[in-house]
Amino acid sequence: MAAVALGIWLHKAGCCGFSLICGEVQNMKWNKFTIKTRTETEDILVATLAEIGIQGAEIQDKQPLSEADKQSMFVAMMPDMPEDDGIAYVSFYLDQDENVAEILREVRRALKELSDFVDIGEGTITASETEDKDWINNWKQYFKQFYVDDILVIPSWEKVKEEDRDRLIIHIDPGTAFGTGMHETTQLVIRQLKKYVQPGMELLDVGTGSGILSIAAIKLGVRHALGTDLDPCAANAVEENKAANGISDRQFSMMIGNIIDTPSIQDRAGYDRYDIVTANILADVLEALTPVVVRHMKSGALYITSGILDEKEDCVRQAVLQAGLEILEVNHQNEWVAITARKPL
């Protein structure tokens, strides 16, 4: 984590990336709540907030960038920073129309439960008020072009360098949706797509967010991708990112709705249709999704999941096995896990 880093999470995914509030936000004030915690538990805390429905979080700490981070973010030198004190501040934002008191009760309950099995530090919550202009666009200064192995992921406001023009390039602007690709979970899935995608395949991308996984898959050879998402903001983000990457509606379509428990969405997606299903979403959602999504997979199809914290790995493993799938690989990046499984022939 950089000295100041923004990591924004949605209720669904994945995991990882940036999320903003959809719609008109001008002239709004936001209640900002900041939890004082430890750097070792900041990701777990953000995932916990997401599980209770808080869609955005901002992390601030004094951890130095690793050499890999510097290279991926094109940072050659960093200014002198205070010594890492192991303290992190996780902030989330609520608009003034929300039931703040009830949400804070849920947060305090979640903090208490979390503290029973992990040291979260002080766990104190402080409140302040901020204008939307203070944070709605602030994340852009932290989202720079970076590499996933030999793939370049670059935001719309940056130019591709001449030496990178022969790479596989993904143009991504998360806008008001989720997913830049910077987070470990997205990178884990992209690496599995690189390994398993074959030309002409059909992909189902559950919790598509910004569409980054579908776009990567199409550029790797997938014939058609269908993305589903709960968040209406995702539709606009996907359309913008399709245009930025020269991807047509015939190549990438999407639906807003819950494929887990909405028969009309399930029917529109189709059954026994997909060669690969990706789901970069929270472990609890994966447990509910997995027994449902197998019906949409062809025999021999692959199921690539991430958004799984280390301590949730066994739960997702069990859900995958109980759905009748064979686990092919389990990959780790820091505290995050990706599971790749296959539906029997």
Mean of per-residue pLDDT scores for the chain: 81
Neighbours of 77 (CB within 10 A): 5
- The pLDDT assigned to 95 comes to 77
* For residue 1, pLDDT beyond 50: no
Kindly tell me if the per-residue pLDDT of 135 is higher than 70. no
User: In 10 A of CB 87, how many CB atoms?
Assistant: 15
Q: Which residue has the higher pLDDT, 209 or 205?
A: 205
Tokens 């990336």 found at: 17
Task: Tokens for 176, please give them.
Answer: 């008001």
Asked whether the predicted pLDDT for residue 324 surpasses 90, the reply is: yes
pLDDT in tens, 159-179: 889 989 889 999 987 554 345
| Dist CA 111 CA 127 (whole Å) | 16
pLDDT score recorded for residue 131: 61
pTM over 0.75: no
Instruction: Select from 214, 46, 218, 73 the least CA-distant residue to 154.
Output: 73
Q: Among 49, 337, 4, which Cα is nearest to 184's?
A: 337
Q: What percent of the chain has pLDDT over 70?
A: 78
| pLDDT value of residue 26 | 45
Fold of 26-135: Alpha-Beta Plaits (3.30.70)
Q: Is 75 a residue whose pLDDT tops 70?
A: no
Q: Tell which residue, 331, 275, 277, has the closest CA to residue 308.
A: 331
Q: Does 142 have pLDDT greater than 50?
A: yes
Pairing of β 29-38 and β 202-206: unpaired
Q: Where are the domains of the chain?
A: 26-135, 142-342
Q: Poorest-confidence range of 140-149, 184-193, 225-234? A: 140-149
**Residue 24: pLDDT band by 50, 70, 90 thresholds?**
very low
Q: Which 3-state string (H, E, C) describes 81-131?
A: CCCCCCEEEEEEEEECCCCHHHHHHHHHHHHHHHHCCCCCCCCCEEEEEEE
Just give the CATH number of 142-342: 3.40.50.150
More confident residue, 11 or 253: 253
CB 170 within 8 A of CB 150: no
C-alpha distances out from residue 243 to 172, 218, 220, 318, Å: 10, 13, 17, 39
Whether residue 288 has pLDDT greater than 50: yes
pLDDT of residue 141: 61
What is the pLDDT averaged over residues 223-239? 89
Mean pLDDT, residues 10-38 = 55
Per-residue pLDDT tens digits for 331-341: 999 889 999 99
